[in-house]
Chain A
Amino acid sequence: ETGVTQTPRHLVMGMTNKKSLKCEQHLGHNAMYWYKQSAKKPLELMFVYNFKEQTENNSVPSRFSPECPNSSHLFLHLHTLQPEDSALYLCASSQDGLEAGKSANVLTFGAGSRLTVL
C-alpha cells in the first residue's frame, strides 16, 4: 500500500455506460494527477489538480470528466467511452512547491484502475 488508493481495480463497461474511477491519498499532498497508461506508449498526463484547482488539461476528450472535491480525493467520471479508451488509469499525488524540499516532484502512484471498454 503506497498511500494512494484507487478503486475499482478493474472495470468493464459498454460504450453507453457512465462510471467513475476514484482515487484517495492519505499523504497530505497538495497535488493530484490522472495518467493514462496504454500498451507500448509513454504514460500520458491527463489532468493535474493543485490545491483542488485544475491546473492542467492535456487536450483530453470531454468524455473524461475529472472532479477534485478536496485535496485528498480525485475522481474521473467516464461516459460514452470508445474501445480505444481501454487502458490502465493511474492516479498519483505529490507535494509541490518550495517547501516540499527533497520530496518535491516525487510522484506517489496508486496501483491503477484497469478499464476495458466493450
Chain B
Amino acid sequence: GDSVTQMEGPVTLSEEAFLTINCTYTATGYPSLFWYVQYPGEGLQLLLKATKADDKGSNKGFEATYRKETTSFHLEKGSVQVSDSAVYFCALSPLNAGGTSYGKLTFGQGTILTVHP
C-alpha cells in the first residue's frame, strides 16, 4: 500500500538557520504530494502542494520539489523564524481507477520543529 516516511524529529534550529525536512513516499502512479503544518493547539493547515513530477510547491518561504526519480518531496526553507515552530506532515493523495486524485490522504508521522531566538 501507499506510505510516507519523514525524517525523525525533533528538529531544533536557531533563528535564520536553513531547514530541510526529508520526505520519501511509496505509491503507484503519480500521486499528489503535500506538506501540512500543525501549530500548537490547532488542526493541520495546508502549507504547499505539488501535483506532478518536477512541480515545485512554495508558500511562506517554504519550498518542496516533486522528485519522481527519487520518490521524494523534501521541505526546505532558507531562513527559519521562531514562528515556524510547529509539527510538519508530509502526505500523498493517490490516483483512483479513473486516473484522478481524490482526497484520501496518507500522512507521515510528523516532524516537530523548534526554532530558538
Interface positions of A (Cβ within 8 A of B): 2, 4, 6, 31, 33, 40-43, 45, 48, 56, 90, 92, 94, 96-98, 104-112
- With A105-B32, A105-B102 already in contact, the answer to whether A110 and B109 are too (CB < 8 A) is no
Contact (Cβ within 8 A) A42 B110: yes
Contact (Cβ within 8 A) B42 A98: no
Contact (Cβ within 8 A) B104 A45: yes
Q: List 21 A-B contacts (CB under 8 A).
A: A2-B43, A2-B45, A6-B43, A33-B104, A41-B109, A42-B107, A42-B108, A42-B110, A45-B105, A48-B103, A48-B104, A92-B43, A92-B44, A104-B100, A104-B101, A105-B101, A106-B34, A106-B103, A107-B44, A107-B46, A109-B45
Contact (Cβ within 8 A) B103 A105: yes
Q: Hey, which chain A residues are within 8 Å of B103, CB to CB?
A: 31, 33, 48, 94, 96, 104-107
B117 within 8 A of A: no
- With A105-B32, A105-B93 already in contact, the answer to whether A111 and B108 are too (CB < 8 A) is no
Nearest-CB residue, chain B, relative to A98: B100
In the complex, A99 Cα to B63 Cα: how many Å?
27
In the complex, A64 Cα to B49 Cα: how many Å?
32
Nearest-CB residue, chain A, relative to B107: A43
Contact (Cβ within 8 A) B104 A90: no
In the complex, A43 Cα to B107 Cα: how many Å?
6
Q: Hey, which chain B residues are within 8 Å of A4, CB to CB?
A: 43
Nearest-CB residue, chain A, relative to B112: A40
In the complex, A112 Cα to B59 Cα: how many Å?
24
Q: Hey, which chain B residues are within 8 Å of A97, CB to CB?
A: 100, 102
In the complex, A92 Cα to B34 Cα: how many Å?
15
B41 within 8 A of A: yes
In the complex, A12 Cα to B45 Cα: how many Å?
26
Q: Hey, which chain A residues are within 8 Å of B23, CB to CB?
A: none
Contact (Cβ within 8 A) A43 B104: no
B14 to chain A minimum Cβ distance, whole angstroms, is 25
In the complex, A55 Cα to B44 Cα: how many Å?
22
- With A48-B104, A98-B100 already in contact, the answer to whether A42 and B43 are too (CB < 8 A) is no
In the complex, A90 Cα to B36 Cα: how many Å?
14
Q: Hey, which chain A residues are within 8 Å of B101, CB to CB?
A: 104-105
